[in-house]
Amino acid sequence: MRLILSPARYKSVVMADLAHQSWFHDLSRAIEAQVPQKTLRDAWNRLRFGAGAPQSDECIWIDPMQVNHAYTGGKRLSLRRHNSGQVVAGDWDLDRSPIKESDKAQSCRLHFIEGVPWSETPIYARLLREIAEGKRPDGLTSRTDLDARYARLDKLWQYAKREGLKPRSETPDRYRREHGGILVHIARDGTLMRSGGAAHRFAIARLLQLKSVPAQLGAVHPEALAAGHLDRLRQRPSTRAT
């Protein structure tokens, strides 16, 4: 016997299914971004450091032309997005070296400055090769995905030329605070160190020589916190004291 649903009942079932899928997607993304652990870390930071404590995925404001070092201690102590807002003592921040031009940065320079098509850049070739090998670099699964990504970057370049870069919280693909943004750690002396993440956005900011762009807070040395370096970076350009 076939079960026939009324239009209203059918719509209700479909909406419930979509809601379930959305809930599962949100939960999966929260687990992937380690939101539960970050929430606990935020609470612990507030207990230790008070109202001005670092927050996970917090938005800070940086001069991209002044970010000239990369964190190189990953084999000894991995510090990535899941460490956002973590206060880490020790000498990890001494593991640094001058930033080298990555294939993403090189490809942005070739495309935006020299006019080379994306399809002829090193990053396009690498990602296309990885997709052909069955990998999912940056979540890409096809050449169509790859072309769509770089079409979006062309739009980002044009917008950034006119308006600069927006915080992630003000973009359509926002998730949690500045999660997914340009990731930087803060060393004891206030030096900002890159640690991967949003390489194209960082390259665009430097190519355009933007004065101030939003970034995702990484790990923070306690001496940097005590010296007020984080407080300074929290101020948007329009409100920052000169």
Give the pLDDT of residue 171: 77
Beta bridge partner(s), residue 215: 60
The pLDDT value recorded for residue 30 is 52
Is 25 a residue whose pLDDT tops 90? no
- The domain limits of the chain are 33-233
Buried b / exposed e across 100-115, counting CB within 10 Å, b at 16+? eebebbebbbbbbeee
The candidate with the shortest Cα–Cα distance to 69, out of 194, 190, 200, is: 194
Confidence of residue 5 (pLDDT cuts 50, 70, 90): low
Instruction: Give residue-wise pLDDT tens across range 38-61.
Output: 899 999 999 999 999 999 999 999
- Total residues belonging to the chain: 242
Q: What is the pTM of this model?
A: 0.81
pLDDT at 138 over 70: yes
Structure tokens of 112?
């935006």
Cβ count within 10 A of residue 220: 28
157 has pLDDT over 70: yes
Lowest mean pLDDT among 90-94, 174-178, 196-200: 174-178
Please check the confidence at residue 170 and state whether its pLDDT lies above 70.
yes
Q: Which residue has the higher pLDDT, 230 or 172?
A: 230
23 pLDDT higher than 60: no
Give 110-142 as a DSSP string. Answer: IIIIT---GGGSHHHHHHHHHHHTT--GGG--S
Q: Is the pLDDT of residue 99 over 80?
A: yes
